[in-house]
A and B are shown apart, each in its own frame.
Chain A
Amino acid sequence: MAARTTTRLAVGYALAAAFIVAAPRFLDAYWLDVLNSVGLYVLLALSLNLILGDAGLFNMGHAAFYAVGAYTAAILNTRYQIPILWTLPASAVVAAVFAALVARPVVHLRGDYLLVVTIGLGEIVRIALVNDVFGLTGGANGIFGISRPMVFGYKIRRPHEFLYLIWAFVAVTVLLFHRLEQSRFGRALNYLREDPVAAEGSGVNTARYRLLAFALGAAWAGMTGTLYAAKMTIISPESFGFWESVVLFLMVILGGSGSIPGVIVGAVLVVVLPEVFRGFASARMLVFGLVMMVMMVVRPQGLLPFRLLRFKESDVRRAGASS
């Protein structure tokens, strides 16, 4: 049973990878761009899943960390001519430090209270960007003229080139996040989600893990911001509004909170469905909303509430034998 789910997951990832690799052969530039968008949202949703799905911390201001990463990359690139991909670590660190600082005083809040605070956080960041904070962010116009990424001396500019860059990053992220899930760190986040009092009472430093969840989730959102800035070459505050945070929250809950493949499916559906419903013209968001409601009523646990078992029966048997 356990072995079968692992195999199924591997087959699913292999098929998805094959589809992405072959996509430029049968999709036009428009749909390739949709796929790029899907990739960025998959990254953002996975990073939010660390905070919301794994640690159970209701964060509805995730776009703030995405924005911090994107602006860090844009500022370093346009002002100091640092190649855009070289700014990835800086975006990750700045977003993580920012998240740790702002989360520190509020992270002990539970559920709905934290949700309200993070909504406020997202708005503060957006408004600060609009008001050209420190004279660095370019106000409502944003920052333009961000240079194209170079990979091994090759300039990335066309949709199918970005497709490979973004989805390679997705592949690495999925691998790393599965490793995280299967570790002492990942378990600690789950203990926190299931029962913070029992987690602390079992010896888990819950305050520390809350902050780490925020910092790590923000770091990944920050790096996604860099990729976004590189792809668009122009960024402005309107790309990081409240709606972005809501959509990311939706992807995690809809796909299956805490499940990596589930969150990927959630992100794909939330980006692709409105495109598919273009036939309904102005009613497309209505249809999309209805689909969403029906799914939440019929499957409240999410579409793919599937988690890899950390231990299989064979592991337990082996552990029992070695002791």
Chain B
Amino acid sequence: MSALLEVRGVTKSFGGLTAVSDVTFDVQAGSVVGLIGPNGAGKTTTFNLITGNYRADHGTIRFQDRAIDRMRTHKIVQAGIARTFQNVRLFQQLSAVENVLAGRHCRTRSGALGALLRPPWQVREEREAAARAVDELAFVGLRGRAMELAKNLAYGDQRRLEIARALAADPRLVILDEPAGGMNEQETEELIGLIGRIRARGITILLIEHDMSLVMRACEHIVVLEYGQKIAEGSPAAIQANPRVIEAYLGTEEV
């Protein structure tokens, strides 16, 4: 059986700089996969290639046996890949529940005419979308903050709100870009629990993270990048023992 997501020989250059070079890896359905590496290794670029924000120069990306490397971002979301951003990107002036409803957008269909005439099916659709948005807020623990403007939420809450927005799109795969960034220890602990609960819903997770304790505990498969190239891949235990990974993170010993 083929993997849920297959990244094959993907390369992306910006001018003279090759940010991602010939990277290949799989994400199996139902797993939690971590993408790690030093700063500037090409992790976020890889994410942006998968989500269609960038277009690969070479290589293919397949999701559920379907090529997605030429699709536009919103189509990829519709196909079942939702994401969060490294620097939280919420709709600041809108309430938490409206932010989550953005995720429902691709699963609902009423347009301008429906809005003007308000047929019963549109009223029902809106009610169902709102109910689902509230459910997702409750799922990430923000039920009590539904009416708060996104900009007024604490940083850790903003990160969780982004996850709720991604989940509202009914994804098969969620891509989290540094979900623990800026979180304190207790929030990180809660995040690990949340990742477990997302997985329990049958949603596959691919994440970038610098917090190694989180990566080692939450992920069962880890891909390591350095200078845009994959240098290692394997279970947390194997990665921790891999000399190339240790070298990448700590540098070589002076001889």
Contacts and interface: CB of A to CB of B under 8 A. Distances in A.
Interface of A: 176, 179-180, 182-188, 190-191, 194-195, 197-206, 212, 216, 309-313, 315-316, 319-320, 322-323
Nearest to A197: B89
A184 B105 contact: yes
Interface stretch (B30-38, B94-102, B202-210): B94-102
25 contacts: A180-B112, A180-B115, A180-B116, A182-B115, A183-B115, A183-B126, A184-B111, A185-B112, A186-B115, A190-B94, A191-B91, A194-B91, A194-B94, A195-B89, A198-B90, A198-B102, A202-B77, A203-B107, A205-B72, A205-B74, A212-B112, A310-B98, A319-B130, A319-B131, A323-B134
Interface of B: 51, 53, 72-74, 77-78, 82-83, 85, 89-95, 97-98, 101-103, 105-108, 110-112, 114-116, 118, 122, 125-127, 129-135, 138, 143, 146-147, 165-166, 169
Contact of B102 (A187, A205, A311, A322): A187
A138 B138 CA distance: 63
A184 B91 contact: no
A219 B77 CA distance: 31
A105 B239 CA distance: 49
Contacts of B135: 320, 323
Nearest to A215: B112
A201 B48 CA distance: 10
Contact of B146 (A182, A184, A316): A316
A319 B77 contact: no
A201 B53 contact: yes
Contacts of B98: 187, 190, 310-311
Contacts of B130: 311, 315-316, 319
Contacts of B134: 316, 319-320, 323
Contact of A198 (B85, B95, B97, B138): B85
A137 B205 CA distance: 61
Contacts of A195: 89-92
Give the interface centre of B72, B126, B143 by most chain A CB atoms within 10 Å: B126
Contact of A204 (B102, B110, B126, B133): B102
B88 to A, nearest CB: 9
Contacts, number: 135
Contacts of A311: 95, 97-98, 130, 146-147
A203 B77 contact: yes
Contacts of A202: 77, 82, 102-103, 105-106, 165-166, 169
Contact of A201 (B89, B94, B116, B122): B89
B106 A204 contact: yes
A184 B147 contact: no
Contact of B118 (A179, A203, A316, A320): A179
Contacts of A183: 110, 114-115, 122, 126
Closest 9 CB pairs of A and B: A203-B106, A183-B115, A203-B77, A194-B91, A198-B89, A202-B102, A319-B131, A323-B131, A319-B130
Nearest to A184: B110
Contacts of B143: 320
B106 A194 contact: no
A203 B105 contact: yes
B8 to A, nearest CB: 23
B142 to A, nearest CB: 11
A194 B189 CA distance: 31
Contacts of A194: 90-94
Given A198-B90, A200-B73, A319-B127, A179 B116 contact: yes
Contact of B51 (A187, A201, A205, A216): A201
Contact of A319 (B103, B105, B133): B133
Contacts of A322: 127, 131
A215 to B, nearest CB: 9
A216 B116 CA distance: 12
A216 B111 CA distance: 12
A212 B111 CA distance: 10
Contacts of B82: 202-203
A29 to B, nearest CB: 35
Give the interface centre of B112, B118, B132 by most chain A CB atoms within 10 Å: B112
A176 B116 contact: yes
Nearest to B88: A198
A259 B106 CA distance: 26
